[in-house]
Amino acid sequence: MITAECPDAFLSSDTPSVDSVTLKACSFTMTTLPVEIGELSEESALSGKRRLHHSENGSELTLELSNTIPFGAEPEITRRIHFSKGLMSVSMDMVMRNSCSLSALSAGGVRISGDIRRIGWILPPKKGSSITRPTHSDFSASAENETLYDESFPPLGMILESETERFDWMVGDDFWRWTNAGRLGGSSRFTVVKEKDGILFRWKIFGLKPDMEALPGRNWRLTWAVAWKPLKPAGGKAPVKSYDLTVCNWPTPTLAVSSVKKNRDEAAERGCLCAAATLNILKKWIRSNLDSVKDGDVFALTNVLPVYCVNAGHLDRARMGSLPHWDMMSILEFSRWANRLLSKKGASLEVLSPEKSPLRGFMILD
């Protein structure tokens, strides 16, 4: 077992079993569920790589894990977990040989417990690229074992709130992988069920439809992240440098689109941060100001509003045409990169959403 501790959270691998990672953050506890490939379960896997890396300043940790199921074509499950104050992001790979018969695939999921009072969902927009306001419900009003969510696609984000804290979950910028079963002719199902002291969130990402033959095995990668914070975080220092995303002259190819048949989306004249050109603009801003940075300075990226987009070129897969994604994970990664650079001079970056943003407070957004 490997353990890692931050001031506000505790992470441990192989607890309660070899397939699990447990995170204790604020008043919430999250445990991952085992991957299932057909009749094979990660619960019976043999543990492999277990590596923990610390960043130079000790503010970030990276945990690398791998498990091999010692049956059939011996599929391997690997996880790479980035852990820092208030944030954990995960990239997991389910590695299957071509000889592995793929009839059903569950990426596991998570069990989250705590004093949950409200639950909310961030869903893909039905039209356009702008993310709509999350829908919330009273968690205590639901009965035990009641299904709270049941769709062929995962929510973009899920919000759990206690009286004083919140715990956010989100898919990465690979929403298209989470829903790739349809492209392969199969089906997928994502469910959230209320338990006695929390929720059970299951990710069945592929299943055969009637009269459909099993497919050859294939590698499958998924990314996701969680964040935790007080419901009313303390205010920070006024920024000395800020960059307003609403006034940036984004190149047309970087704009979010809800249809590849349109040059730009009528609902959101915003750059998608999954596009490399968009990130380069922001990184250039950070680098151009490094010489003037002083200890304690705060930079701010303002009017940040994640977008839903289908331009496969933003994911370096232009030949695919349309691949649905949202850029919240790219926002997280840019923030991580900028803070890593600025911290060398004692500075930091804040990511600020518009005052009336539907996602104000979600993940790292303030």
Q: Specify the length of the chain in residues.
A: 366
Place of tokens 């299957």: 96
Q: Give pLDDT, residue 267.
A: 44
* Structure-block tokens of residue 246: 């609403």
Q: What is the average per-residue pLDDT within 197-210? A: 95
- Chain segment 298-345, per-residue pLDDT in tens: 999 999 999 999 998 898 888 888 899 999 999 999 999 999 999 999
Residue 34 CB-half CA count within 13 A: 22
* Structure-block tokens of residue 334: 């840019």
Task: Name which of 350, 329, 340, 4 is nearest 168 in CA terms.
Answer: 329
- Chain segment 138-159, per-residue pLDDT in tens: 999 999 999 999 999 999 999 9
CB distance 220 to 177 below 8 Å: yes
The DSSP secondary structure of 86-148, one letter per residue, reads: TEEEEEEEEE--TTS-BSEEEEEEEEEES---EEEEE---SSSSBPPPPEEEEGGGSPTT-EE
Per-chain mean pLDDT for the chain: 90
Which pTM was predicted? 0.93
**Residue 241 to residue 63: CA distance in whole angstroms:** 33
Residue ranges per structural domain of the chain: 3-230, 241-351
Report the CATH fold assignment for 3-230: Beta-galactosidase; Chain A, domain 5 (2.70.98)
The residues facing 13 across adjacent strands are 21
